[in-house]
Structure 1
Amino acid sequence: MTEGEAEIGRTHEARPVDFAGVETWIFDLDNTLYPRRIDLFAQIDARMTAFVADFLKVPREEARALQKSFYREHGTTLRGLMTLHDVDPDAFLRFVHDIDYSGIPADPALGDEIKALPGRKFIFTNGDRGHAERTARALGILNHFEDIFDIVAAKLNPKPAQATYEAFVAAFGIAPERAAMFEDLARNLEAPKRLGMRTVLIVPPPLEADIAEAWERQGREGDHIDFVTDDLAEFLRRIER
C-alpha cells in the first residue's frame, strides 16, 4: 500500500460519532477550503519570490531558495523576513495578496456542508483577512463563518506556533476538546491535537499530482492526525449523517 493509499483509506473511518460533541469547526484557508489544483497559492508564491528578490536585491533563483528556507524555518516567508531582515509586514502582505481571484470556482456543495455543521465556524489562516475574505467570497462560503483569525490577529506569529493556537482559542472562547481543525499541512495539526482538538488532514486525490514540496508532506502518518481526506465536502457530509 502506498503512502497516498494509506492516507485515503483513513478517510472511511470517520463517522458521525467521531465528531459528536464538536461545537467549533476550524478551517485553514489555502489548499484546504479550495483544492490545491486550483493553484491560487501559486500566484502568492510567485509574488513572495518577487518581493524577496526586490527587497534583498538578489537574483530570482536565490530569492526562491531564501523564500523557501524562511518558510521551512520560521513558519512563513513573512516571519523569516521580519526576523532576519526587519521587513515591513504591511508592505509584504499588500504585495503578495495582490492577485487574480477570478479563477476560483464557487463551491456550493462545500457551502451546503459547512452551513449544516452544528455550532461555530472559523477560518484560521497564515494569510491576511482580506485574502481570506476574497477567497471565501469567491467560493461562495464567506457568510457561513463567524469570523476569521488571520496573521495580523496572530500578531504575525504564524502556525504552527503553539502560542498562536492558544491565542486563537482565547480570542473566541473555544473549548479545544469540543473543536475540530481542518488543515493541509500535517505540522499545523500538531498544536491543535495537543490542545485536545480532533484533527483532519486535507490531501490531494490519488490521481491528482501532489505538488507540495517533500518537506510539506512530512508527518502525514503522525499520531497527531485523526483523519485524512481528499474531499472536504464529502467528508463533512459523511460525519453529518
Structure 2
Amino acid sequence: MSTSAHHLQKTSDVNAADFAHVRDWVFDLDNTLYPRHCNLFDQIDQRMTAFVAEFLSLPNDKARIVQKEFYQRHGTTLRGLMTEHQVDPDAFLEYVHDIDYSWIDPDPALGETIAALPGRKFIFTNGDRNHAERAARQLGILDHFEDIFDLVAADLVPKPAAETYDKFFGLHRVDAAHAAMFEDLSRNLTVPKQRGMRTVLVVPRNFEQTFGDVWEHEDRDGAHIDYVTDDLTTFLRAIR
C-alpha cells in the first residue's frame, strides 16, 4: 500500500490491489466529480461574495476577503456566516446555487467507469442536495449513486469536521476500512485516512495550482493521502 502521494505521476503507477477490498466509494462533488477547469464553482464563488457583500453591507473587495476567511476558518463560507452572523442557511444555499449548470460537459465515460465499480457509490458534499443532483445530472452520472450526503444531512457542519464523517458512516453503515474517498481538498482527507479509508486527492489537470486559494493545495504529499490523480476517469479505470 502506498503511504505518500509523491510517487504518483502517471496512472500506470496505480496499484489496483490497494483498492481490491473497497466496497463503498465516496466522492466529493465540486472540483472532484466535475473538473475544476469547467469553472462551475467560479459562479458559486462569485455569488457567495455577492451574498456576503449584501448581507454584511460591504463593498465587493472587502466581502471577498471576509468570505475567504470564513471558508478557511470554518470549512465553508456558510458555516462562518452562521457562527458569526446567524445567517439563514436556506437563504444562503438557494442564492449561491442559482447558477448555470450547462458549464459542465456531460461525461459518459466517467459514468460508465463509476457504474462498473463494485459496491455502493456516494456523493459526500459540503453543498446541498439540490446542487449535487443538478451537477451530477448534467454530468450524466446521478443514477449511479446510492445517495447524496449533503450539508443539510450533516446538520450544517461541513467537512473536515470529524463528527460529519462519523455521521455519514453511521447513517449509511459504511465500514471505513472497506471504503475509499476521493476529494480535491487535502484537509478533507485527514479524518477519512484516520478512520481507515483509502484516500485519493483529485487535482487540476497536469497537477497545476493555477486555481483556487494557495492553502487548498497544501500538504498534497501528506501521509494521509494514498494517491493523487489529475484524471479521475482514467484513475478509476486503472484500479478496476
TM-score range, shorter chain: over 0.9
* Unmatched 5+ stretches in structure 2: none
Alignment of 1:8-157 (within 5 A): 8-9=8-9, 11-157=11-157
Amino acid at match of 1:50: A
Contact 1:11 1:227 in 2 (8 A): no
Moved over 2 A (4+): 5-8, 10-13, 207-210
Amino acid at match of 1:160: P
TM-aligned CA deviation for residue 108 of structure 1 = 0.6
Separation (CA, whole Å) in 2 of partners of 1:106 and 1:51 = 29
Deviates more, 1:210-219 or 1:185-194: 210-219
Encode CA deviations 1:188-229: one digit per residue, 9 max, x unaligned: 000100000000000112275631211111111100000000
TM-score of the two chains, using structure 1 as the length reference? 0.95
Instruction: Name the SS of the counterpart of 1:64 in structure 2.
Output: helix
* Unmatched 5+ stretches in structure 1: none
Encode CA deviations 1:4-61: one digit per residue, 9 max, x unaligned: x947527543222110110000000000001100000000000000000000001101
Separation (CA, whole Å) in 1 of partners of 2:146 and 2:28 = 14
Contact 1:13 1:227 in 2 (8 A): no
Amino acid at match of 1:78: L
TM-score of the two chains, using structure 2 as the length reference? 0.95
Q: 1:121 to 1:214 in 2, by over 3 A?
A: same
Separation (CA, whole Å) in 2 of partners of 1:209 and 1:221 = 14
Query: What's the RMSD between the two structures over aligned residues?
Result: 1.4
Separation (CA, whole Å) in 2 of partners of 1:7 and 1:15 = 12
* Structure-1 residue corresponding to 2:224: 224
Contact 1:23 1:118 in 2 (8 A): yes
Separation (CA, whole Å) in 1 of partners of 2:207 and 2:45 = 24
* Structure-2 residue corresponding to 1:178: 178
Overall identity of the aligned pairs, in %: 63
TM-aligned CA deviation for residue 170 of structure 1 = 0.3
Instruction: Name the SS of the counterpart of 1:238 in structure 2.
Output: helix
Q: 1:68 to 1:87 in 2, by over 3 A?
A: same
Q: 1:25 to 1:67 in 2, by over 3 A?
A: same
Separation (CA, whole Å) in 1 of partners of 2:6 and 2:198 = 19
